[in-house]
Chain A
Amino acid sequence: MSASQSAVRSRAEAVKVSRTFDWLILFTLFFVVLGGYHIHYMLTGGDWDFWTDWKDRRLWVTVAPIVSITFPAAVQACLWWRYRLPFGAVVCVLGLLLGEWVNRYLNFWGWTYFPVNFCFPSNLMPGAIVLDVILMLGGSVTLTAVVGGLAYGLLFYPGNWPVIAPLHVPVEYNGMMMTLADLQGYHYVRTGTPEYIRMVEKGTLRTFGKDVAPVSAFFSGFVSIIIYFLWHFFGKWFAQTTFISSDDL
């Protein structure tokens, strides 16, 4: 067989090879994204995602969407502009959540015995689905960044509320009031995570009384818009093929 001859001999064979490529690429993409996104999220979201006593209504709501919209924006740029595939955000979050669950279950619980109800990850899926759908229906980076980025920030807290609310039930403990999440942080000893490094309920957002979560979510959404633009262009830059000469193809 010469170099100019095709490796496949029929259309059916070409389709079969193409599908094999599809699954190989999807599999590879999934695990590469899982690794990269997981490390990125652990380094930037870190404790806010690790522990329930960090999942507050101000900083967790603000930080988690901002630092987690990064990879979805970049992978969307590659998959959408190169292949018109609108699952960039969802595939990222699927990878991240799988990696996080493996980490939390095997490491946090399996090795160090922190109960899973204390160290489960945040849910990013609602925002990811909406982000993908907006890109697909709008076909515009600007629209996805502005509407999708804002929605990504806004959906984060309500998307997690069914899981986190039971842990915000108050309890009286030795004469002090705290939430069950606070009590988990107090009971399950972390020698390397003293209470004072917990960045919760800090800031000057006092005007809105107890309703600070929506304000934090809006702020998070606004910053997510900017981060989306930035990382979408990173993704586009990484997905370019200018370094491949057409003679090589």
Chain B
Amino acid sequence: MTPESLDAELVEAARRGSPVAFGRLVERHQRAVRAFLRRACGDAAEADDLAQETFIAAWERIARFRGEAGIRTWFCGIAWRKLMTARRSWFRSRKRDADYVETEGLERGEGAGADERIALEQALAGLPIDQRAVVALCLGGDFSHSEAAEALGLPLGTVKSHVARGKARLMQTLGVDHE
């Protein structure tokens, strides 16, 4: 059974009200959603809170999932909207890009390559939020450009240019002039 057909089967079961099937969907896609949110918002704890809210909202709306995009894309779309809503509220927006390196860098900033990791995280934090989200999905999460466009509700051309600019910025951090 392919991962896509397993997902489709689990989605159907979840639509019929199976919490077990939905739990398996959460297990299968939690990493993608959390990694996307961590990179996009820069705060691991806030990202995990948002990921939980994302899956709870997804359970409530699973009947509305049409299956045009993959379930992972749909989850990330909800996560993106949750993130945007959270950023608009004042108490969450106080912790943002400035904390990015502090939280992420301190948690995993030891050993070889730690400086490079911090530099890359700083470069990522320096990108505008939608560019950072596109980079997190396409470069960090193996999303195709069209999947990222679908998840984030952005035009395909914008996604492509965000990927190119974001990658150039990260490569510049690694000492490469990326054209």
A binds B: no
Interface of B with A (CB < 8 Å)?
A: none
